[in-house]
Structure 1
Amino acid sequence: MAVDTAPVAGNAAPPQARAPRRQFTLPGGSVISTFLVLFLVIASFSVEGFASTRNAGFLLLDVVAVALIALPLTLIVVTGEIDLSVASVVGLSSAVMGKLWFAGLSLQTIIPLCLVLGAVLGAVNGLLVTRLGLPSLAVTIGTLALYRGLAFVVLGDQAVADFPREWTRWAIGSIGGTGIPNAVLPLLVLIAVTAVLLHATPIGRSLYAMGNSEDAARFSGIDVGRTKLWLFVAAGVVSALGGVFWTLRYGSARADNASGLELQVIAAILLGGVSIFGGSGGLLGVLAGALLLASVRNALQLVNVPSDVLNIVTGVLLIVAVVAPQVAAGVRTRTRARPR
Structure 2
Amino acid sequence: MKERMARSRSVFGSWDTALLIALIVVVLVGALAIEGVASPRFWRFVSLEIIPIALIALPMTLVVITGEIDLSVASVLGLTCTVMGQMWLWGINSLPLLIVVGLLLGALLGAVNGVFVTGFGLPSLAVTIGTLALYRGLAYVVLGDRAVADYPPEWTMGAIAPIPGLTIPWVITVVAVLALVFGIVLHATPIGRGLFAMGNNAEAARFTGISVARTKFWLFVATGAMSALAGVFWTLRFASARADNGTGLELAVVAAVLLGGVSIFGGRGRLIGVIAAVILLGVLRNALQLAYVPANTLTIITGSLLIVSVVGPNIVGMIRERLRRRRPATPLPQTAAE
- Per the alignment, residue 325 of structure 1 pairs with 313
Match status 1:276 vs 2:298: no
Larger radius of gyration, structure 1 or 2? 1
8 Å contact from structure 1 (residues 76, 228) kept in 2: yes
TM-superposed CA distance for 1:135, in Å, is 0.5
Match status 1:71 vs 2:58: yes
TM-superposed CA distance for 1:50, in Å, is 0.8
- Per the alignment, residue 104 of structure 1 pairs with 91
Deviations 1:140-189 (A, max 9, x none): 11111111111111111110000111110012220123111111111111
- Per the alignment, residue 41 of structure 1 pairs with 28
How many corresponding residue pairs?
320
8 Å contact from structure 1 (residues 28, 282) kept in 2: no
Match status 1:262 vs 2:250: yes
- Per the alignment, residue 9 of structure 1 pairs with none
2:220 corresponds to which of 220, 232, 239: 232
TM-superposed CA distance for 1:53, in Å, is 0.7
8 Å contact from structure 1 (residues 125, 143) kept in 2: yes
8 Å contact from structure 2 (residues 67, 267) kept in 1: yes
Deviations 1:40-98 (A, max 9, x none): 11111111001111111111111111111100000101111100000110000001111
TM-superposed CA distance for 1:337, in Å, is 5.8
- Per the alignment, residue 8 of structure 1 pairs with none
Match status 1:304 vs 2:321: no
Distance in 2 (CA, whole Å) between partners of 1:335 and 1:196 is: 32
Task: Please report the TM-score for the alignment, with normalisation by the length of structure 2.
Answer: 0.91
Percent identity, please: 57
Structure 1 counterpart SS, 2:23 = helix
Distance in 2 (CA, whole Å) between partners of 1:339 and 1:244 is: 54
Structure 2 counterpart SS, 1:168 = helix
8 Å contact from structure 1 (residues 28, 281) kept in 2: no
- Per the alignment, residue 59 of structure 1 pairs with 46
Distance in 2 (CA, whole Å) between partners of 1:35 and 1:339 is: 28
Distance in 2 (CA, whole Å) between partners of 1:203 and 1:24 is: 28
2:236 corresponds to which of 229, 232, 248: 248
8 Å contact from structure 2 (residues 15, 313) kept in 1: no
Distance in 2 (CA, whole Å) between partners of 1:216 and 1:233 is: 24
Query: 1:337/1:191 Cα in 2 relative to 1: closer, same or farther (>3 Å)?
Result: closer
Distance in 1 (CA, whole Å) between partners of 2:179 and 2:320 is: 33
Query: 1:339/1:190 Cα in 2 relative to 1: closer, same or farther (>3 Å)?
Result: closer
Code of the residue aligned with 2:77 in structure 1: it is V
Structure 2 counterpart SS, 1:29 = helix
Code of the residue aligned with 1:55 in structure 2: it is F
Structure 1 segment 81-230 matched on structure 2, within 5 A: 81-106=68-93, 107-230=95-218
TM-superposed CA distance for 1:24, in Å, is 4.5
Q: Which runs of 5+ in 1 are unaligned?
A: 1-20
Task: Please report the TM-score for the alignment, with normalisation by the length of structure 1.
Answer: 0.91
Structure 1 counterpart SS, 2:147 = coil
Query: After the TM superposition, which of the residue ranges 30-39 and 216-225 deviates more from structure 2?
Result: 30-39
Distance in 2 (CA, whole Å) between partners of 1:30 and 1:217 is: 30
